[in-house]
Amino acid sequence: MSGLSASGLKTMIKNYTEVSDTVLTSAILENIILNAQQRIMYDVPIDADRKQQSASLIVGQQTYNAPAGCLFVRGIQVYTATDGTITGANNWLLKRDQTFLNEYVPANTATGSPKYYAMFGGATALSDTTSGKFMVAPVPDATYAFQIHFNVMQATLEGDNTNFISLNFPQGLLYACLVEAYGFLKGPMEMLTLYENKYKQEIEKFAAMQIGRRRRDDYTDGTVRIPIESPPQ
């Protein structure tokens, strides 16, 4: 199956379910597609969603807004440079719970180069830069440069546009949509079960690529080999 646009996916959902526009309206189909995209996004962390952003810490400020659309932070590097330069000596902050940082830095009294970070809140849209936050400890005593590595929400599939999932995982996206569609239509149950199983088969293959093959190489990890049982002697 080649890549899908939002309009093409809507047509396929209606063709597979054999349901008219009066039942599966455009608004309902968009909700089905959104739910399917979110399911895939939560089931497998996608490399295409990995981003990084650079900035500088502020003296005396412990809490910062997470990047727009940030789902979760994968790591934060703090550099010794205080001029915004993302080069040279640096260290990775250790992730801790917010309560740990509150105890470690009571009333923001401990200052220095940060060693720890914690996340709280969560961004709700690609344009949202205020709901998701992270805090560091100790409180910065200089304008250290830092780089934050995170996963971001994918652009919503709508109209005639495409995104990474629709282009690179169209069959899994279709099956996830059909699960949502048959759940909305309340049956038949055997069709919902059929597409749920098809989705699970496809998501295993997709996960093997995203968090398997893309995270290893032959030199470091060795070539993947399939064990073959020898005939009994």
User: Do residues 78 and 142 make contact, with C-beta atoms less than 8 angstroms apart?
Assistant: no
What is residue 20's predicted lDDT score, i.e. its pLDDT? 86
The packing angle between helices 189-210 and 170-185, to 10°, is: 150
pLDDT in the model for residue 155:
81
Q: What pLDDT sits at residue 120?
A: 82
pLDDT digit string, tens, across residues 191-208: 999 999 999 999 999 998
Which residues of the chain carry a pLDDT beneath 70? 1-2, 107-108, 122-131, 224, 233
Number of neighbours of residue 18 by Cβ within 10 angstroms: 6
Gap between the Cα atoms of 119 and 3, Å rounded = 35
pLDDT, tens digit, for every residue of 77-104? Answer: 999 988 888 888 999 999 999 889 888 8
Q: Would you say 146 and 77 are in contact if contact means Cβ atoms under 8 Å apart?
A: yes
Query: What's the Cα-to-Cα distance from 144 to each of 58, 82, 90, 104, rounded to whole Å?
Result: 8, 4, 10, 20
Quote the pLDDT of residue 130. 59
pLDDT of residue 3: 78
Q: What is the pTM of this model?
A: 0.78
How far does CA 179 lie from the centroid of its chain?
Answer: 21
Predicted confidence at residue 126, as pLDDT, reads 57
- Number of neighbours of residue 182 by Cβ within 10 angstroms: 22
Measured between its terminal Cα atoms, the distance across the chain in Å is: 45
